[in-house]
Amino acid sequence: MKASVGPLRQVLKLLALAQNEEAGLVIGARRGDTVYAYILYRTDNLKQSPEEFESDPWQVVQAHRAAEKLGLEVVGVYHTHTACPPSPSGKDVEGMKRWPGVWLIACPGEVKAWTLEEETPVEIELEE
């Protein structure tokens, strides 16, 4: 599996400069073994924390509705870490179990893509 994010990579790097973790859903499409990210649907971080996030549930529903209207789907989750590396934390792994798909994690200057295989985070190829 791989993820294609195009110019959204730069947007994620900029979001990672925020004081608290930023988060949202990735709207796009799946073709073959590639997940294409077209839209980052931002959600409020209810935790307002530099170390963890919790997306507003109503905004999660709205993201799914928006994806459906566009003929796309929610293909994953994105969030930022205020410090590098952009690797899943223990809390992220728990979230990955509940919200399967591609997880884009950004820190200042770097973005990585992850998926969960047999309850273990695995980095996947990230292309432009």
The mean pLDDT value for 4-18 works out to: 97
Tens digit of each residue's pLDDT (9 = 90 or more) over 34-58: 999 999 999 999 999 999 999 999 9
* 1 pLDDT higher than 90: yes
Under the banding of pLDDT at 50, 70 and 90, the label for residue 128 is: confident
Contact 23, 11 (CB under 8 A): no
What pTM, to 2 d.p., does this model score? 0.97
- Residue corresponding to tokens 């997880």: 103
Which is the catalytic residue, given 21, 110, 117, 119? 21
For residue 74, how many other CB atoms are within 10 A of its CB? Answer: 19
The tally of CA atoms less than 13 A away on the side-chain side of residue 98 is: 6
Element (H, E) at 115: strand 110-117
Is 21 tagged catalytic? Answer: yes
